[in-house]
Chains A and B, each alone.
Chain A
Amino acid sequence: MNPDLSTDFCGIHFSNPLVLASGILGTEAALMERVARCGAGGITSKSCGPEPRQGHPNPTVLDWGPGLINAVGLANPGVKMEITILKDTRSRLAPLGVPLVASIFAHTVESFAEVAAQINTAQPDLIEVNISCPNVAAEFGRPFALDPSSAAEVTRVCKSVTEIPITVKLSPNTPDLVAIARAVAAAGADALTAINTVGPGMIIDLESGRPILANRVGGVSGPAIRPIAVRCVYDLARALDVPIIGTGGVTSGHDALEMIMAGATLVGIGSAVYARGPACFAEIRTEMIAWMNAHSVSSLDEIRGQAHATHI
């Protein structure tokens, strides 16, 4: 038996649900093509903003044991250069049948509209609207993802400038996740990506007595946050009828299936690329198929949202 891993998401065909998450390896067309050849079902580029940004000084990414912590600070080449990268990437991914998700950020609503309009010209398959980076609070202020009305406003302006479906990347760092998701969905979001990194967190070096990240704080990811991500996806799937890219600490086939049982349609893969290398996509896919075969599950639709069945 060969279980079916393919899925439709906002009318786009994905041969498998594993999507490279934003901020991991999404910097270069050749590198994104390589990840696609490693078996990813979709590729998300690194978040791009209106102008080039250096990001934070080093250290920016650390393996602290149970996961990663990062404060790269939205380093990106700016939207003009990004369009060139995305067009190149698209032409490399199209023959492989791998959709491209373009991630964008901005620090004002107007700027979001501008970046979305420009990215629209590169014609990615999907635009991911990143309103939830936790690492730029000093500069950008409170993330849009922490407030329902500003999250909705960003969604509305992005929808107004493009026909491409958009997914809004939500933050777990709020008690109002469902309210924010409702506002975003009402404003026209085609999908949701949940979750961005948790925190921010901090790691202190004992010898120097100083926070190690140059930004002092950073977003926590990896296996340590998976239960939080699964709960967020579960809550969203329960409350809303919007497809979800479930992201957060998925490292194995079992983790990916867990995310689908929580209600995710696609599954984001980020820190696993560190733990297992780019080969993780094919490996996770194989692990999913093995479990599905052992449990006589022939398609992901059979188990999607299964965890909700016992919810009274």
Chain B
Amino acid sequence: MQHTSDRGQLPRPYRVVEIREENPTVRSLCLEGTAMHSIAMVLEPGQFVMAWLPGVDEKPFSPSCAKPLTLTVTRVGPFTTAMHQLSVGDTVWLRGPFGRGFSLDRQPVSSQKEIMLVGGGCGAAPLLTLAQAARQAGQRVLVVLGARTTDGLFFQDRYTKLGCHVLVSTDDGSAGERATSVQVAASLLSRKDAAIDALYACGPGPMLDAVYELAQMHNLPVQLSYEAYMRCGIGVCGSCALGGCLVCRDGPVFQRPPDVIQRHPRTGNK
């Protein structure tokens, strides 16, 4: 009989089974648990994993799909470059899933209305898992994707295939409207026939703050997925502290910007 000791939350090996080029700087790696560690990862939309490449580094990623487990990686530095150099059959080690993700159930959605997802840059990746869940629950989903240039956009087709209504924008006008995703979201929300009843966003901090303002203005519930420099990923080291919150444990998804939570500690996420 085999005895397995408790090895806690140590990184577990996953094989790369498929690689997809999303655009010149973005690649998706589809992963599968190895025979020894075949436990499937149960992942909620917006949660994250810590991905380790021995001898390189370990970084947080919010998967773009739970089944098959998919990490969508934008090449920005040494670690993401190493992730881009992986081939099918190579191994990535993962710890997790960690953190609090998006929740759909807290926000009942009537059949006439729809939810709006706003993605800035690589924020398009984790929102895809949310779009999948929302579509499965029969909700209508409007997706606004923004990037600096057309090269930064990805997943338009993936969202469309799920049955989402997709709008794109770029800062330089090289694809879609020449605007930021927040500007597009703002003009949609101020239309008379706007029927959005919840906002979800993932992207750079200032963009999320702007989406929060929009939500306040239109009195809509909002969930924002923040990025932060992380070390432990498990709420110990304090590296990702933001206004008294831990992005890794209290987030990465928040209902208001963490500094706002801090200013009103009584109403904050505990």
Chain A residues with a Cβ under 8 A of chain B:
23-28, 30-31, 33-34, 37, 46, 55, 57-66, 68, 70, 72, 75, 203, 205-208, 210, 212, 214, 271, 273-274, 277-279
Contacts and interface: CB of A to CB of B under 8 A. Distances in A.
Contact of A208 (B57, B59, B93): B93
Interface residues of B, number: 38
B68 interface: no
Interface in B210-241: 231-239, 241
Interface of B: 5-11, 13, 34, 36, 50, 52, 54-55, 57-59, 91, 93, 95, 231-239, 241, 243-246, 249, 262, 265, 270
Contact of A63 (B9, B52, B262): B9
Nearest to B241: A28
A177 B36 CA distance: 43
B246 A31 contact: yes
Given A205-B11, A207-B91, A212-B11, A61 B243 contact: no
A62 B6 CA distance: 13
Contacts of B54: 205, 208, 210, 212
Query: What is the predominant secondary structure among interface residues of chain A facing chain B?
Result: loop
B239 to A, nearest CB: 7
Most chain A beta-carbon neighbours within 10 Å: one of B8, B50, B52, B262: B8
Contact of A25 (B8, B233, B238): B238
B270 A64 contact: no
Given A31-B246, A203-B10, A207-B93, A212 B52 contact: yes
Contacts of A208: 13, 54, 91, 93
25 contacts: A24-B237, A25-B235, A25-B238, A27-B241, A28-B241, A37-B265, A58-B57, A58-B59, A60-B232, A60-B237, A61-B231, A62-B8, A63-B8, A65-B6, A68-B236, A70-B232, A72-B231, A203-B10, A207-B91, A208-B91, A271-B236, A274-B234, A274-B236, A277-B235, A278-B270
Contacts of A33: 244, 265
A92 to B, nearest CB: 10
A208 B92 CA distance: 10
A78 to B, nearest CB: 16
Nearest to A92: B244
B52 A59 contact: yes
Given A30-B262, A205-B93, A59 B243 contact: no
Contacts of A34: 244, 265
B237 A72 contact: yes
A31 B241 contact: yes
Contact of B7 (A58, A65, A75): A65
Given A31-B246, A72-B232, 4 more contacts: A25-B237, A58-B59, A61-B234, A214-B58
Nearest to B266: A37
B34 A207 contact: yes
A62 B239 contact: no
A62 B10 contact: yes
A25 to B, nearest CB: 5
B244 A63 contact: no
A302 B249 CA distance: 38
Contacts of B233: 61
A59 B6 contact: no
Contact of A27 (B34, B58, B239, B243): B239
Nearest to B14: A207
Given A58-B57, A59-B52, A27 B238 contact: yes
B50 to A, nearest CB: 7
A68 B262 CA distance: 29
B164 to A, nearest CB: 35
